[in-house]
Amino acid sequence: MKNLLVFLLFIMASAGAFSQKVVFVIIDGVEAEVFERVATPNMDAIAKTGGYTRAYVGGERGGYSETPTISAPGYNNLITGTWGNKHNVWGNSIKAPNYNYWSAFRFVEELAPAKETAIFSTWLDNRTKLVGEGLQAAGNVMIDYHFDGFELDEKAFPHDKERLFIHNIDEHVVNDASRYIKEKGPDFSWVYLEYTDDMGHAHGNSEKTDDAIHTADDQMGRIWEAIQYRQKEKAEQWMMFITTDHGRSAESGGKDHGGQSDRERTTWIVMGGGQPNAYFTKEQNAIVDILPTALNFMGIPVPRERAYELDGVPLVGKVSIAQPKTDLAGDKLRVSWKAIDLEGDVKILLATTDNFEAGGTDVYTEVGTAKAGAEVFEIDLSRYPSDFYKVVIEGRYNSVGRWVKR
Ligand SMILES: [Zn+2]
């Protein structure tokens, strides 16, 4: 009897008695200063179970990964865990996304096909263009459940100048997301809501924009209620991420965005559930951190060549290193990083090609190792002649990387 019990406990532990599920929400175009000023009791309560942090979008200002603070590039930063130089979405027309950088949905569907995925969205293109559902170039990825496209249904949602129809669609989307999460508990879901951005564009910093944020807070409360129901009734652990795709410019009074000002680049992340790690609490976080966090939490290991391409660092779980930097002087390349965990060594890897971008493979050379705590390594590039390098610093728990162009 005792042996059987031990055996059962072993089975439960090895199979993971709880299943880990994730919902991420993008509330469009809410700058951090406004978000922090407006009362959001529901999101405050959600953050209490995990954490809250300011974050940034826009890649490296003035650097090779600079990305416009525009909606679709912002969403794609999140769902691919990379900046525009990789995912190649520069505007809302989404002309030529590079699907070689997998979307979150492709990661989940390919690496953990038994998991159920869902999308609830006030913009159809998120599924059809950014994720690229059903497209061969995007791996024929299929999302198990979708609830979107209502902006095209002008009968049910007649378009009005005040854009109340967008609010109505957001409500429609949130109500279905809450219902579906409560009933089915999908493993990985994206909820996208637009009304806050519409109010920002029309009215800038104003009571109308504040009200739209209050409404979004109420909507988040409903989704959180569904999650709490699941956690109480089922053997499930959930994480919820709520974030935004960009801030807004001060010069326009909060109406516009797209540039690289602090207020356009500064965003925020509400994290429900999960134990924030030292990277979350001590370092500057970014929208690209959400994808690796979600995959980590769900226990989906990312293949090494794909992990090397991710621009984000997990916000929960063990992390070795973050904040990679490179400084080139002549043939001397100084590679530095922030050690989050001082234990162990890091490997410094170098590739002189970017075949990955075209669906191929890059061969990395290990050019040395260093103590994680050393935080710096110097490479003599004269031994590896090229105009272009991909540098990867690989720690015990995660890797970070950068491009270097001569
Ligand atoms: Zn936006």
Give the CATH number for residue 335. Answer: 2.60.40.10
Same domain, 300 and 341: no
370 token code pair: 């260093």
Q: Which pLDDT does position 4 carry in this prediction?
A: 53
CATH of the domain at 262: 3.40.720.10
**What SS3 state is found at 248?**
coil
Q: What's the CA-to-centroid distance between 242 and ligand 1, angstroms?
A: 14
Distance 30 CA to ligand 1 centre (A): 8
Tell me how crowded residue 284 is: count the other CB atoms within 10 A of its CB. 13
Q: Report the separation in Å between the CA atom of 125 and the middle of ligand 1, taken as the mean of its atom positions.
A: 13
Residue 17: the pLDDT is 74
The pair of three-digit structure tokens given for residue 73, joined into one six-digit string: 């590039």
| pLDDT of res. 10 | 47
Give all strands of the β-sheet with 266-272 in edge-to-edge order.
145-147, 117-121, 188-193, 19-27, 236-243, 266-272, 51-56, 285-286
> Do 296 and 333 lie in a common domain?
no
> Is residue 38 domain-shared with residue 152, that is, in the same domain?
yes
The structure tokens listed for 44 are 């405050």
My answer on whether 278 and 326 are in the same domain is no
Q: Is residue 158 assigned to a domain?
A: yes
What is the mean pLDDT of each successive set of 10 residues along the chain, which is 406 residues long?
A: 50 65 98 98 98 98 98 98 98 98 98 98 98 98 98 98 98 98 98 98 98 98 98 97 98 97 98 97 98 97 97 97 98 98 95 98 98 98 97 97 96
- Domain-ending residue, one of 256, 280, 307: 307
Specify whether 277 is located in the same domain as 338. no
Is residue 316 situated within a structural domain?
A: no
- Domain stops at, among 307, 332, 362: 307
Total domains present in the chain: 2
Query: Same domain, yes or no, for 51 and 119?
Result: yes
Q: Residue 34: CB partners within 8 Å, gap ≥ 6?
A: 205, 209, 210, 213, 248, 254
pTM: 0.95
- Do 92 and 231 lie in one domain? The reply is yes
Element (H, E) at 280: helix 278-282
Gap from CA of 155 to ligand 1 centroid (Å)? 25
Q: Are residues 268 and 340 in the same domain?
A: no
- Angle, in degrees to the nearest 10, between helices 207-233 and 164-184: 10
Q: Ligand 1 center to residue 140 CA distance, Å? A: 27
Quick one: 34 and 121 in the same domain? yes
Give start and end residues of each alpha helix (H) in 141-277. 164-184, 195-203, 207-233, 262-265
125-153 pLDDT, tens digit each: 999 999 999 999 999 999 999 999 999 99
Distance (angstroms) between ligand 1 centre and the Cα of 137 equals 25
CA of 273 to the centre of ligand 1 (A): 25
Cα angle value 293/296/298 (rounded, 5°): 110
Asked, for residue 10, whether it belongs to a domain, the answer is no
Q: Has residue 3 been placed in a domain?
A: no
Q: How far is the CA of 320 from the centre of ligand 1 (A)?
A: 32
Whether residues 26 and 132 fall in one domain: yes
Centroid of ligand 1 to alpha carbon of 90 (angstroms): 13
Q: What is the DSSP string of 374-388?
A: G-EEEEEGGGS--SE
Residues 332 and 260 placed together within one structural domain of the fold: no
SS3 content of the chain, % helix, strand, coil (to 5): 40, 25, 40
Domain match, 330 and 223 both? no
From the CA of 92, how far away is ligand 1's center (Å)? 9
Domain for residue 7, yes or no?
no
Cα–Cα distances in angstroms (integers) from residue 168 to residues 174, 195, 233, 326, 391, in the given order: 10, 9, 30, 48, 47
Q: Which two tokens stand for residue 375?
A: 């935080």
- Choose the final residue of a domain: 275, 307, 339: 307
In this prediction, residue 16 carries a pLDDT of: 56
**Strand pairing of 188-193 and 145-147?**
unpaired
Q: Which domain holds residue 337?
A: 321-405
CA of 193 to the centre of ligand 1 (A): 10
- Is 102 within a domain? yes
CA of 245 to the centre of ligand 1 (A): 5
- The alpha carbon of 237 and the centre of ligand 1 are apart by a number of angstroms equal to 30
